[in-house]
Chain A
Amino acid sequence: MLLLVVAAALFGRALPTWTLSLATIAASNALIALGIVILARTGNVSFGQGLFYAAGGYGVALIANAWGITDALVQMLIGAVCGGLLGIVIGPLLARYSGIFFGMLTLALSMVLYGALVKTTALGGSDGFNIGRPTLFGLTFTDTREADFMLYAVSVVTTGLAGIAATILFRSELGLASLAVRENNLRVEYLGISSNWVVTINFAIAAVFAGASGSFALMAQRHIDPQFAYWTTSGEFVFVAVLAGYQSVAAVFVASVALELVRSFSNLYLPNTWQLVLGIFLLGVILFLPRGIGSLWIKQRRKRIDPPLTAVTVQKEAAQ
């Protein structure tokens, strides 16, 4: 898998310049969506990953501007730490909730940050502010193609490593316990595992990924504004996660690239309607690929257990 990551990074050499920044954003979105997938394995969908995305982005932008840090790797680490710290603080509070309430609370918290950022004139208010071009290991890139390639390589390698880490996590005790929490958190508690703890750890991991992703988005755009924390931004990340399905790490990358391609092509040919295209795309995936595009190449290992037949389903079937 490591070879695959290195190959993907070097593949950037062959890509035309305009696809490099697109691929960087796709890798960054894949990273944050990976966090959502990790969290979703506990049955909780976060509609407010924008909170950590913005925390990472703003954290990096402020620290980088204050201390003159321009190294891309260091910036990424700062972003991850900012996201992770916030995640560790909020995680235990949110772990008690599940389902829709969990989603709503995460959304609420991200909107609190959005509301605060929009009105903070010291941080540029709703316009945000700019930062300089990142460097790597003391190297400054004057050629824009070189700079784009550097960022592409760093983001692809980071996301790839995160993907490998996630695969290991999924097979670990914690990863399996997460699935159990999704099925029934009370029974997990009876087995002597704290389901709150499981959710908190997964939440913190997702926050770290989101923070790092925010730093990549910042470095790619060299600009940050409160839109990072707006709920529609978070919605797009959930979109990638749903598109991918919750079974395969590779599917997250494919989904993220697919989304970016759809976005740039509809921007090109159908300006003003890319959300429309996105919405139809999303409906199609939910309807025809309920387990995400990952299910295209991953065969189901165990037979699906049909939900118990209830009076409601009987009536609905009779009506059809």
Chain B
Amino acid sequence: MNFFLTVVLDGLIQASWLFIVALGLTLVFGVLKILNIAHGSFYALGAYIAATAVTTVAAHGLPPSFGFVAMLISVALIGSAVGLLLERGLLKMFYGRDEVVLLLVTYAVFLILEDATKLIWGVNPIYATQPYELFGNIEFAGLSYVGYDLVLLPVSAAIGFLVWFGLNRTVKGKIVLAVIHNEEMSVSMGVRVNRVYAVAFAFGVLLASLAGALTAPKISMQPGLSSDVIILSFAIVVIGGLGSVEGAAVGAILVGLARAASVHLMPQAELFMIYLIMAAVLMFRPEGLFKRETARRI
């Protein structure tokens, strides 16, 4: 029983940050129909920026809570700016091309960002552990958990709720949904799709870098981070259904649990498990768990 609880909690903690990354990926796909390979790079970018912010604050002798706030603010600003810049400056040129071409464009962006982060932050591992002790340790069912990990759960749930609420209960969100469902019709109704594209992409990048910032205190930042994260978040959105918010949540929980379970039971099968789930889901429901099949033109 205790073991079961450990796996579930570990899985949910994993799922909490994975969900934030996958949410960004799935939104960008839903609106722009781009499967963004560079998404993991934005996660890494967020993590690196957070590390810089945290260590700068710590170097000035300020308390770690300042570092925590500073990292969130700096990542939010830089993340959305990078997103806007990329969409307006680069992706715009490729709209209307084949979706595989757009995939390759984001692959090129991934390659560029990969080396750009190496040039800025070097190849040695970077740590930003100061905020990790911020919330102390919490005893739960006889187990000791780092408070920071548990705080991630409500944070992630709140982000999920806000996105869901924003999309389904506000006028602007409904316009975005309209673009997701039928871009052509929304243009005819006077929606400025270009603007929706730019905002959606910037928001996706913001989510990825925010997740990077939130996990930065838990991990060591080093090259290869982005390609590992993109692989996980691909699996999540494909399991859940590309473009679906609920799907991203369920996919993140499934992948988080699978990771936690295999870490405890069979550490050698971790990556294997996740992709097995993804392959299984695709075999039986190619559209993912949460996506309705759409009619196609003959």
CB within 8 Å of B: which residues of A? 45, 93, 96-97, 99-101, 103-105, 107-109, 111-112, 114-116, 118-120, 184, 186-187, 230-232, 235, 238-239, 242, 272-276, 278-280, 282-283, 286-287, 290, 307, 310-313, 315-316, 319
Contact = CB atoms under 8 A, between A and B. Distances in A.
Q: How large, as a class, is the contact surface on chain B?
A: 35 or more
Interface of B: 35, 90, 93-97, 99-101, 103-105, 107-112, 114-116, 118-119, 123, 183-184, 187-188, 192-194, 227, 231, 234-235, 238, 242, 267-272, 274-276, 278-279, 282-283, 286, 296, 298
B278 A100 contact: no
A109 B279 contact: yes
B194 A112 contact: no
Given A97-B282, A105-B282, A311-B187, A231 B104 contact: no
Contact of A316 (B194, B238, B272, B298): B194
Given A108-B235, A283-B105, A231 B114 contact: no
Contacts of A272: 115, 118-119, 123
5 contacts: A100-B99, A230-B227, A235-B107, A286-B94, A286-B108
Contacts of A120: 268
Contact of B184 (A114, A115, A310): A310
Contact of A115 (B103, B115, B270): B270
A118 B286 contact: no
Interface of A is mostly: helix
B103 A103 contact: yes
Contacts of B112: 275-276, 279-280, 283
Nearest to B242: A100
Given A105-B279, A108-B235, A290 B97 contact: yes
Contacts of B100: 45, 99-100, 103
Contacts of B192: 315
B194 A187 contact: no
